[in-house]
């Protein structure tokens, strides 16, 4: 594991309470936490002059193999969608919206949606780079971004249905599934957990 990531793990552990650190240490779940994370817990408890208790027998049944570590597979694809495909899709979607009937019926609402889209246009690139470089709190930033996308897509879908443009609304409604799928991936992926020590 690179030094930068190890430093980030130490910083993460320093932000936890002593009670949380003692629980992690005592439980000794090697499937949930890596060896580097336990080293960071030990170091942080020592810095706080806490008496370090003995650990329970290691829980290894859920141990995540090293092959799941690193930005590869679906995690890499997610980074690519954030840094390349998503910004392009924003531009394409705005082009479609401004030429549709919805734009003329609910122009003020769509102007607000456009401003929000442009405001968020750079965010997916930033989040994708953070994930790719395994930066601290990268997964948290990705979740925040995905929830923002979800809310915006829901608002656009509601405007579409309110205007009676069911065809356009159906396409926009389908885009609501994008953030939900990736949110589920970030929560359940073994690779994400192993790479970011979640």
Tens digit of each residue's pLDDT (9 = 90 or more) over 1-21: 567 777 788 888 888 898 988
Q: What pLDDT score was predicted for residue 39?
A: 87
User: Is the pTM above the cut of 0.75?
Assistant: no
The top-scoring range by mean pLDDT among 32-36, 48-52, 112-116 is 48-52
Tens digit of each residue's pLDDT (9 = 90 or more) over 36-45: 888 888 888 9
Q: What pLDDT score was predicted for residue 34?
A: 78
Give 190 or 60, the one with higher predicted confidence: 190
Number of CB atoms found within 10 A of residue 127's CB? 25
Cβ(58)–Cβ(35) below 8 Å: no
Segments making up each domain of the chain, as ranges: 3-63, 67-196
Residue with tokens 């290894």: 60
Report, as an integer, the average pLDDT of 53-64: 65
- What 3-state DSSP class applies to 59? strand
pLDDT of 64 > 60? The answer is no
Q: What pLDDT score was predicted for residue 104?
A: 55
**Band of the pLDDT at 101, cuts 50, 70, 90?**
low
Q: What pLDDT score was predicted for residue 184?
A: 92
Chain mean pLDDT for the chain: 78
Cα distances from 164 to residues 100, 135, 147, in angstroms, run: 12, 44, 26
């Amino acid at each position: 594991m690179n030094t930068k990531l190890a430093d980030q793990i130490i910083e993460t552990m320093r932000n936890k309470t002593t009670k949380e650190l003692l629980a992690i240490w005592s439980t000794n779940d090697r499937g949930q936490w890596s060896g580097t994370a336990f080293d960071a817990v030990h170091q942080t408890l020592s810095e706080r002059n806490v008496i370090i208790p003995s650990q329970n027998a290691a829980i290894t049944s859920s141990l995540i193999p090293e092959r799941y570590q690193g930005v590869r597979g679906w995690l890499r694809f997610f980074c690519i969608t954030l840094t390349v495909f998503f910004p392009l899709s924003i531009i394409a979607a705005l082009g479609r919206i401004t030429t549709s009937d919805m734009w003329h019926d609910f122009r003020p609402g769509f102007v607000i949606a456009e401003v929000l889209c442009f405001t968020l246009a750079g965010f997916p690139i930033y989040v994708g780079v953070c994930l790719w470089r395994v930066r601290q709190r990268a997964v948290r930033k990705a979740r925040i971004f995905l929830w923002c996308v979800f809310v915006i897509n829901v608002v656009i879908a509601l405007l579409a249905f309110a205007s009676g443009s069911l065809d356009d609304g159906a396409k926009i409604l389908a885009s609501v599934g994008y953030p939900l799928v990736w949110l589920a991936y970030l929560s359940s992926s073994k690779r994400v957990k192993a790479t970011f020590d979640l």
